[in-house]
Amino acid sequence: MFGTQIVNNEGHLMIGGCDTVDLANEFGTPLYIYDTALIKEKIEEFKAAFSRHKEIDWQIAYASKAFSTLAMVQLIDEAGLALDVVSGGELYTALHAGMPASRIHFHGNNKSDSELRLALDAAVGAIVVDNFYELDRLNQLCAERRQSMDILLRVTPGVEAHTHEFIMTGHDDTKFGFNLDNGMAEQAIRLALESSYLILKGLHCHIGSQIFETEGFAEAIRTIYKYLDRWSAQLGFSPRILNVGGGFGIHYTELDHPLPIADYIDTIVATVREECDNRALPLPAIWVEPGRSLVGEAGTTLYTAGATKEIPGTRTYLSVDGGMADNIRPSLYQADYQAICASRANLPADKILAIAGKCCETGDILIKQAHLPAGCTSGDILAVLSTGAYGYSMASHYNRLPAPAVVFVEDGDASLVVRRETYADIIRLDVPLQVKTHNDN
Ligand SMILES: Cc1ncc(COP(=O)(O)O)c(C=O)c1O
């Protein structure tokens, strides 16, 4: 939902063939809407990028942490993609949505025994093992059950990529994965190869998020292959799968200039091929785990504007009926967004307003400098764009605000895929104190 906006005769913003003001009236606000045609377009872009490389086996696994609901998983399943889950809850959602377990892989830096058991019961396609504790626990659980499990080892190649730059940190100070430089990864490979139950299929790395350059991916792959010189010679290990994670950048504002997906995939495939050719190693299957690049731009949050506060010469605040409880990203890491006045989308955006959330936190500001029409005020519907990733999935109940509803829109049809929470939902898990009866006698 970025680029040219479609506006109808009433001056209302249209998404997926639906009038956003009508959606706000029908489903209430705050409301998450997803343009599912756009998600499918992004999926096809990934598939087309890989299909050009006939010699490569590949897998696209949607990183469901970006936005996980039954309907979303069903959409991914129908598109034939795989799924990356990072918790028992995401796995449970995936299984309930009917996602074949064989197409699920399970991430996480502190999977509990019960989460590992859930994954083993379901016989997921692979577990991405993050640390020695997990390697040991998983090995023991598999031994107890006499069950084998395909695993990848998450390694940290010392490459950190963010937006337009990547840096070689040499050694990574991160809670995730086995470091390459200090021998952890080699030790993990040795242990995995010794196991009778764990089948070491390959390696995984994830170098960052919102990445707008390709070289960080190439550098991470080259770094891993440098170590593979020794591991293939001494341990006879060469990965059958190389999972390079996600992180492909998207449009949040006009300052973002994402690359075509094919640019990333071409670089990844070319680098893997070159590294393998140089060492006469077999080409691994290449896996990627896009999250935000599949759903980010497809999501829009609708809010109703309420109170205004003008501080002459300083700023005008326009408060909306949601905020950090439904989108923590601006307050958590100063994420930037753009907004449109959906109910006056035909008017020029000639005024700068601060869009404030309704939570009791000074920092609950969704957009510090939103360009909106001068007349945009209380009662208008605001659309914050590109909120599809890590918005709803990071929502909280702060201030006991009920979580918004989520609607999928396509071809003029809107379907509710998550209903709005009610106040009754908010207290449904609370256990009241038992009233003590005092006997004064
Ligand atoms: C291991 C892993 N894979 C994939 C992703 C998805 O990243 P993105 O949504 O930026 O594509 C993440 C995000 O944190 C991740 O940690």
Point out the ligand 1 atom lying closest to the alpha carbon of residue 128. 1
437: which residues sit within 8 A by CB, 6+ positions away?
A: none
Residue 329 has pLDDT above 90, yes or no: yes
Strand blocks (E) in 312-350? 315-320, 339-341
Shared domain for 193 and 259, answered yes or no, is yes
163 CA to middle of ligand 1, Å? Answer: 14
Shared domain for 94 and 228, answered yes or no, is yes
Task: Give the residue whose CA is nearest to atom 4 of ligand 1.
Answer: 246
Shared domain for 312 and 284, answered yes or no, is no
Counting residues of the chain whose pLDDT is more than 90, the rounded percentage is: 93
Write down the pLDDT at residue 17: 98
Point out the ligand 1 atom lying closest to the alpha carbon of residue 107. 1
Residue 430 lies in a domain: no
Residue 333 has pLDDT above 70, yes or no: yes
Point out the ligand 1 atom lying closest to the alpha carbon of residue 210. 10
Residues annotated as catalytic are: 360
Residue 147 has pLDDT above 70, yes or no: yes
66 lines ligand 1 (CB under 6 A): yes
Pick from 152, 154, 206 the residue to mutate for probing ligand 1's pocket: most ligand atoms within 8 Å of its CB: 206
Shared domain for 291 and 393, answered yes or no, is no
Write down the pLDDT at residue 233: 95
Of 168-172, 228-232, 320-324, minimum mean pLDDT range: 168-172
Shared domain for 171 and 56, answered yes or no, is yes
Write down the pLDDT at residue 1: 54
39 lines ligand 1 (CB under 6 A): no
Question: Which residue from 127, 124, 188, 126 is spatially nearest to 155, judged by alpha carbons?
Answer: 188
Write down the pLDDT at residue 435: 82
Residue 441 lies in a domain: no
Point out the ligand 1 atom lying closest to the alpha carbon of residue 290. 11
Strand blocks (E) in 289-336? 299-311, 315-320
Question: Which residue from 64, 69, 179, 176 is spatially nearest to 124, judged by alpha carbons?
Answer: 64
Residue 13 has pLDDT above 70, yes or no: yes
Q: Choose the final residue of a domain: 277, 295, 313.
A: 295
What CATH number is associated with residue 202?
A: 3.20.20.10
Shared domain for 22 and 115, answered yes or no, is no
Write down the pLDDT at residue 79: 98
Residue 202 has pLDDT above 90, yes or no: yes
Write down the pLDDT at residue 440: 59
Q: Choose the final residue of a domain: 240, 264, 295.
A: 295
294 lines ligand 1 (CB under 6 A): no
Write down the pLDDT at residue 439: 67
Point out the ligand 1 atom lying closest to the alpha carbon of residue 292. 9
Shared domain for 302 and 289, answered yes or no, is no
Shared domain for 307 and 406, answered yes or no, is yes
Write down the pLDDT at residue 160: 84
Shared domain for 167 and 109, answered yes or no, is yes
Residue 280 lies in a domain: yes
Task: Give the residue whose CA is nearest to atom 12 of ligand 1.
Answer: 246
Q: Per the annotation, where are the binding residues for pyridoxal 5'-phosphate?
A: 247, 289-292, 390
Write down the pLDDT at residue 271: 98
Shared domain for 149 and 291, answered yes or no, is yes
Task: Give the residue whose CA is nearest to atom 16 of ligand 1.
Answer: 206
**Radius of gyration of the chain measured on its C-alpha atoms:** 24
The residues with which 285 forms a beta bridge, in sequence order, are 241
Write down the pLDDT at residue 218: 97
Residue found under tokens 């914050």:
384
| Contact present, 19 and 268 (Cβ < 8 Å) | no
Start-end of H helices in 36-154: 36-51, 70-78, 88-96, 113-122, 132-145
Phi, psi of 87 (to 5 degrees): -160, 165
pLDDT digits (tens, 9 = 90+) for 160-186: 887 777 777 656 788 999 999 999 999
208 CA to middle of ligand 1, Å? Answer: 7
305 CA to middle of ligand 1, Å? Answer: 33
Residue 431 lies in a domain: no
204 lines ligand 1 (CB under 6 A): no
Shared domain for 375 and 331, answered yes or no, is yes
Residue 209 has pLDDT above 60, yes or no: yes
pLDDT digits (tens, 9 = 90+) for 47-70: 999 999 999 999 999 999 999 999
271: which residues sit within 8 A by CB, 6+ positions away?
A: 217, 218, 221, 222
Write down the pLDDT at residue 171: 64
Write down the pLDDT at residue 165: 77
Residue 11 lies in a domain: yes
Q: Please report which confidence band the pLDDT of residue 408 belongs to, taking 50, 70 and 90 as the band edges.
A: very high
Write down the pLDDT at residue 235: 96
Q: Mean pLDDT throughout 240-257?
A: 96
Residue 325 lies in a domain: yes
Write down the pLDDT at residue 167: 77
Residue 263 has pLDDT above 80, yes or no: yes
Residue 41 lies in a domain: no
Of 72-86, 155-169, 348-362, 380-394, minimum mean pLDDT range: 155-169
Structural domain count, the chain: 2
Q: Per the annotation, where are the binding residues?
A: 247, 289-292, 329, 333, 361, 390
Q: Choose the final residue of a domain: 295, 322, 343.
A: 295
289 lines ligand 1 (CB under 6 A): yes
What CATH number is associated with residue 380?
A: 2.40.37.10
Q: Per the annotation, where are the binding residues for substrate?
A: 292, 329, 333, 361, 390
Residue 277 has pLDDT above 80, yes or no: yes
354 CA to middle of ligand 1, Å? Answer: 30
83 lines ligand 1 (CB under 6 A): no
Residue 412 lies in a domain: yes
| Contact present, 334 and 372 (Cβ < 8 Å) | no
Write down the pLDDT at residue 166: 77
Residue 324 has pLDDT above 70, yes or no: yes
293 lines ligand 1 (CB under 6 A): yes
Find the domain containing 374 and state its range.
6-35+298-425
Cis peptide before 284 (omega within 30 of 0): no
389 lines ligand 1 (CB under 6 A): yes
369 CA to middle of ligand 1, Å? Answer: 28
107 lines ligand 1 (CB under 6 A): yes
224 lines ligand 1 (CB under 6 A): no
Shared domain for 326 and 312, answered yes or no, is yes
Q: Please report which confidence band the pLDDT of residue 45 belongs to, taking 50, 70 and 90 as the band edges.
A: very high
Pick from 172, 289, 292, 294 the residue to mutate for probing ligand 1's pocket: most ligand atoms within 8 Å of its CB: 289
Write down the pLDDT at residue 2: 61
Measure the CA–CA gap between 213 and 259, rounded to whole angstroms.
Answer: 7
Average pLDDT, rounded, for the chain: 96
Residue 364 has pLDDT above 90, yes or no: yes
